[in-house]
Structure 1
Amino acid sequence: MKILSLDTTMAGCSAAIVDTDSALPLAADFAAMERGHAEALPPMVAKVVKTSGLALSEIDRIAVTTGPGTFTGVRIGLAFARGLGLARNIPVVGIDSLAAIAANETQRVHLLVASDARNDEIYAAMFDARHRQLMPPHVTTAAAAAADVPSETLVLGTAAQAVIAGSRRNDLALSLAGDMPVAAHFARLAAIVTPAEMPLPLYLRAPDAKPQASALRKIGLLSIEDMGPAAAELMAELHGEIFEEGWTRLAFTEMLLTPGTDAAIARQSDEPLGLIVTRRAMDEAEIITIGTRPSAQRRGVARQLLAQHMVALTEKGVRHLFLEVAASNAAALRLYVAMGFAEAGRRKGYYRSRGRDEDAIVMRREITP
């Protein structure tokens, strides 16, 4: 069986073509990277396909990691694999990221895979000596991860040293295998899986988890990235977290293909925290939507996003910026007033909320280079 495998879930990007009848991969590539997976993956896949000497029509199935990992990284690999699978009518098989990392280890011993999940937490999964999963991926702490694992277990992953140190046990050993999923190593896992529906992302944290009160401090300088039609699925995912009636991927695709539409996402490291979409006409623009993920609200994300996006709009000749906001949305109104917007009119009964009509306040701000 000839398998194209790929991974973008963590701080690496990898692709490989493996023939399960041979001992070595036909072609493989790996690059360590914190971001830039979306740009790196397509040429990497093209390279391994060319190096393998195979045509895409000769690929029997695609293997892709589904998470846990970074929000953006998980979506990039899945979107690419699903798109290629649909276009070429190739089955797509999902492999969880910790099982993929376990495939790096060649020794037949009990294995605990532990990857850093930030915020003093880790992702962990337990495997027996034949690398069969005994405990699926879950969120825990480094101190608790090794509580019930057998003696002489190897610990592998970016949080492995923290787990061993936190366990206070002397019968655990550090695996020297790679800490990231490697496409050339986990591809064979897909050969024993029966393809079904397209794989879904594996998120181990609820996307709308509420931050603790102590965490409601302002977020530092964010990275603001312009988005085009290729980001429609990511934009729809974010919008669905932020709003009760989230817009679909198709809606975002059509919107982002419309001339004059500009979109951006605010990120902290690899994690997208907020989005904005505006539409330009001559020297005027309107904010179509703006929002912050629930777990990052009240921490200055929207303020940064709007401020930097306004700068980008002025460079495109915009001088007048408009928006609409529900009259009852006090938090948004405070933000817009603080950002220099003033009421320019009202639309009576414009919104329908909880069975009653609500006014929309039209706000305007002059922006200059």
Structure 2
Amino acid sequence: MPTLSVHQKPATGRFGDFGGRFVPESLVPACDALAAAFHEAWTDPAFRAELDELLEVYAGRPTPLTPARTLSARLGVELLLKREDLAHTGSHKINNVLGQALLARRMGKHRIIAETGAGQHGVAAATAAALLGLECTVYMGERDIERQQLNVLRMTTLGATVVPVTTGSRTLKDATNEAMRAWVADVDGAHFLLGSVGGPHPYPTMVRELQSVIGNEARTQSPYVPDVVVACVGGGSNAAGTFAGFIDTTARLVGIEAAGGAAMTDGSPGVVHGARSMVLQDAEGQVAEAESIAAGLDYPGIGPEHAFLGATGRAEYYAVTDDEVVAAVRRLARAEGIICALESAHAVAWVLREAGGPLLPTGSRVVLTLSGRGDKDMATLGAVA
């Protein structure tokens, strides 16, 4: 059975045929310095202790593993929800940004640059910057700004500068492009605080390690090794962090994409944002546009480690439609009193659809990561009522 790569100082950042580093020459030294700095910090007990303390007393970890008793009874499966929606700022994003912000300060950077789609990563980045006394600039697609006004207000209230991106599809892909350009322009003074397990090495490994707290906690909290571990996937940081806790068990690992952005099922190998992975692209190799009701999954690629896990068969990837996602938000809310983010609802929708069938037989024991809360999506849900 394949295992997740262990971060090592001379690591290449490759996951089989995927990963690597495809960046302008001007960024190679910055990536090398970041890889070395992360290795040094991750093996430093003082750094780990400071991060662990912040995760506990500031971010509110550990998050609970909540039995979904009503849905379990109705579906005929035993469903446990890993509640990242209860972490500070309302999603799993805080785990990664606290670690990267501490690393940025350790490296002597005075400013962080971030990209965001649904705004949850932007809010978390702005939060960590405020806490640690760093400047923060967040790039966000104009279309996402329109549908995530609450998170834009949260970011500006925290002191961040939100830069609208008006090129391309005006969503997460284009925001990431602009954030990387801004990093090139200020590579000495700024740290690019990437929110997902994509991008050039060392980001996929670093972000997965910082998010592995999700899976490690869930494995400890679960009364058994589940049959299935499921999480939504855009770039895939919450899923990578969840899977990390169960990779060496018999649990099936299942990632759920948006039907309009399903890189694993509709994509092909290619390069996007500095890494080789599975990418939505046209016949000429140009990156195609993704579509999803969930701004955080409106992305044409997937993290290279996910591409590797899918290629080797260790993880499975499926897609659900926007209609299934909206129905899943409402069903979870009315059955369990939990309003989850549209992103998280992709995982819920798959369980609702497959429970009792060959992919999720009756009696299956399931751990599902709720990556975020749904406050930010109320206007979108209201518009499709």
> Shorter chain as normaliser: what TM range?
under 0.3
Larger-gyration structure (1/2): 1
Normalising by structure 2, what TM-score?
0.25
More helix by share: 2
Select the structure with the greater relative contact order (CA < 8 A; seq sep ≥ 6): 2
More strand by share: 1
